[in-house]
Structure 1
Amino acid sequence: MAFSEQNRKGTISGIIFVAIFAAAATMIADISAVKSLGISPLVIGIVMGIFYANTLHNNVPSEWSTGITFSGKKILRFAIVFYGFRITFQQIADVGMSGFMVSLIMLSTTFILGSYLGYKIFKMEKDTAMLTASGAAVCGAAAVLATEPVLKAEGHKTAIAVSMVVLFGTISMFLYPVLYASIIEPATGFLHMTPQEFGIYVGGTIHEVAQVVAVPASVVGAPAEMANSAVIVKMTRVIMIAPMLIALGIYLSMQAKKSGDSTGPVKLVIPWFAVYFIGMAGFNSLQLVPQNIVDVINEIDTFLLTMAMTALGMGTIFSKFKGLGLAPLYTAGAMFVWLVIGGFVITKVVTAIF
């Protein structure tokens, strides 16, 4: 046990050690040049953690490992629950059926496509394929973190998935404003998008929340409706992670029963933290907590997520990546093409219907 009498001191020291790294990552992310790139402290945290894991980890007492593991597991689930304070059901209702349908279609198709391509076509390990798919399908690094406990995946697999999210999410952040300025905005017919449609397209297809915010801000003269639609659709995708994880838990239970890997009755894997996440979003929708307090909660939650990401990075040794080759890159690249091209077509069709 992490806080048993024998391990308590090492656990607390490990948690403090991770928190120091997370604080440094938060300060780096707050630098204006870094912030303009839409790079979240979560990403910086895992990079710092990976650097530590492959350079300095032998200089830290082994007793601290329980605290590092606690940060990457328990603190993670707690932070995912309180991520619900970023969302209200009213926001989802405001964007209408078109935003909801684009979110639903893009999430489900991207996750299925990425999992299939990664595992069946590019021969990745199943957990790594699903983690990579969840990051592209839902909300980047936070989605990878939320999916990891359901799959019970190893930390280095999570790091691979996050690295793909960072790569293609960053490309998206620079690509979409160029597309809008050079192709979508001045065109007529099918290629033309209104600012609201483009906002739905951005929110329904770009990986990270920070990157979604950055894209409308990068479009010269972008009206407020573009940014509002983008953020709301993105947050709709975020809340969908809960039903996705529940469905994934049911799928894993069925697969275990079908393959005969388990002895006795198959236990249904229900990610309760995802259920609590929905409950927290519902509570936030009641608007009982003043906005200034909600803002503080979200800042603390971001720090806790950064701690979890840093801890996962600290368990990532490069030697574990041997044998993977370019499969993660191919898988993430295929999903990126689907998000950009398929997402555009689906946005146009859905907005025309609704």
Structure 2
Amino acid sequence: MSHTSTLSAPSQSQTASHGQLNGVLFVALFAAAVTRLAALPAIAGLGISPLIVGIVAGAFYGNTLRAGMPAHWAAGVNFSARKLLRIAVAFFGLRVSLQEIAQVGLPGLTESVLVVVSTLLLGTWLGMKLMKLDRDTAILNAAGSAICGAAAVLAFESTLQSKPEKSAVAVGSVVLFGTLSMFLYPLMYRAGWIHLDTLGVGLFFGGTIHEVAQVVGAASNVSPEATHIATIVKMTRVMLLVPVLLTLGFWLARQARRDATGATGHAHAHAPRKLAVPWFALGFLACVIVNSLHVLPSTATQTLNAIDTFALTMAMTALGIETQVSQVRKAGPRALATGFLLYLWLIVGGLAITWGVEHVFA
């Protein structure tokens, strides 16, 4: 009897790893289809990235046809939504270089820091206090608006270890208001409501629009110079992902220690959570440095960026598959209301910050 059990044990683990591999391959094929779909002129023209199409298509599949997927593939879907996601966020750093950030100098950095910090604090407060959202949903919503849309939501989800539906809600808000910006910002500029020079337009668009693609889409309606400045300012915001995630890691560890102390009354209680330093944030920083040193040929960087976009699309698709619409419905309206208030803040507060920055550095 023992003989057969020793034989069946490895086959069980083989089945599990086989299932995981099949799950990852399934997500990859799904993401390939999503990438083709996102390349259609009607979708690409709206500045909607494959990441967004991925989470929508994934959520549709997850809530309609998921039952048809073999159960042991779930491990592969989970791997794509967690581990692969972290690797992909780290490689996102290859899109940013310190030289570019130096080009917009202190005005660009000041704009980015002020927008990111104010939006994160305001978003977390609005979400938790005013809209009565749970902590994770509030922080994810704030992160998507403050830093870089869907990619920031994913990075924060990894650090918070929150549930996929909370990310889906935050991504939904980013998509809605970010897409709106692409049409609204150029219209406001044309109507003469935004009295800014080229640098100001670049600072404002890059400092307040959610996704990189949306920034490019909106600014290209103004001028190539504005687009160049806006893209770099946007990338400066993306760079801030690293210090913000590290700060979040410290804060979560402190919260966990305080909770553990409160629960037992003993200061030496074991904290349920060690310091959550997100290694992928350090990986992101390493990639920024590699990109800044120009050690890689530009073709290699382009190839890696294309692979990275695909990996992020896989992660988003997997997140979508794991998202339950019933869960989204619970926080949906309140999270969207938070996203809307943050959007108003990004326009009004963002304009005020831009004017202030331009005057200080004039």
Aligned to 1:197: 200
Q: In the alignment, residue 313 of structure 1 is paired with which amino acid?
A: G
Kindly provide the CA deviation profile for residues 238-262 of structure 1, in whole angstroms up to 9, marking residues without a partner as x.
0110110000111111122223367
Amino acid in the other structure paired with 1:177: P
Match of 1:349 among 345, 356, 360: 356
State the one-letter code of the partner of 1:341.
V
Partner of residue 334, structure 1: 341
Q: 1:264 aligns with which of 266, 270, 273?
A: 270
1:254 is matched with 254
Give me the identity figure in percent. 45
SS in 2 for 1:324: helix
Task: Work out whether residues 206 and 233 of structure 2, in 8 Å CA contact, stay in contact via their aligned partners in 1.
Answer: yes
TM-score of the aligned structures, taking structure 2 as reference length: 0.92
Aligned match for 2:324, one of 291, 306, 317 = 317
Match of 2:178 among 169, 177, 180: 169
1:10 aligns with 2:19: yes
Structure 1: unaligned runs, 5 residues or longer: 185-190
Match of 1:122 in 2: 131
Corresponding residue for residue 227 of structure 2? 227
Give the structure-1-normalised TM-score: 0.94
Secondary structure in 1 aligned to 2:14?
A: coil
Asked if structure 1 preserves the Cα contact closer than 8 Å seen for 2:148 and 2:238, the reply is yes
1:276: Cα distance to partner? 1.2
Confirm or deny that 1:42 pairs with 2:51: yes
Q: Secondary structure at the match of 2:191?
A: helix
User: What CA distance in whole angstroms lies between the structure 1 residues aligned with 2:225 and 2:330?
Assistant: 46
> 1:4 deviation in Å?
4.4
> Is 1:303 matched with 2:310?
yes
Equivalent-residue separation in structure 1 for 2:307 and 2:339 (angstroms): 30
Task: Return 5+ residue gaps in structure 2 as ranges.
Answer: 1-11, 264-268
Give CA deviations for 1:116-170 in whole Å, capped at 9, x if unaligned: 1101110011111111110000000000011101100011111111000000101
Equivalent residue, structure 2, for 1:284: 291
User: Deviations 1:32-63 (Å, cap 9, x if unpaired)?
Assistant: 22111000000000001000011000011001
| Superposed displacement of residue 352, structure 1 | 1.1
Give the corresponding residue for 1:187: none
Structure 1 counterpart of 2:243, which letter? P
| CA distance in 1 between partners of 2:332 and 2:326 (Å) | 12
Q: Which has the higher helix share?
A: 2
Shift of 1:214: 0.4
d(CA) in 1 for partners of 2:337, 2:69: 36
Residue type of the alignment partner of 1:119: M
For 1:24, the aligned partner's letter is A
1:254 aligns to what SS in structure 2? Answer: helix
**Partner of residue 166, structure 2:** 157
**Aligned mates of 1:259, 1:296 — CA distance in 2:** 45
The 1-side partners of 2:250 and 2:185 are apart by 36
TM-align CA RMSD: 1.4
Measured after TM superposition, the shift of residue 284 of structure 1 is 0.8
CA distance in 2: counterparts of 1:342 and 1:81, whole angstroms? 30
Q: Which one of 23, 27, 33 corresponds to residue 24 of structure 1?
A: 33
Confirm whether residue 144 of structure 1 aligns to residue 153 of structure 2: yes
Give the deviation of 1:20 after TM superposition: 1.1
**Matched-pair contact (CA < 8 Å) for 2:168–2:328:** no
Distance 1:235 1:246 in 2: 18
Question: Does 1:215 pair with 2:218?
Answer: yes
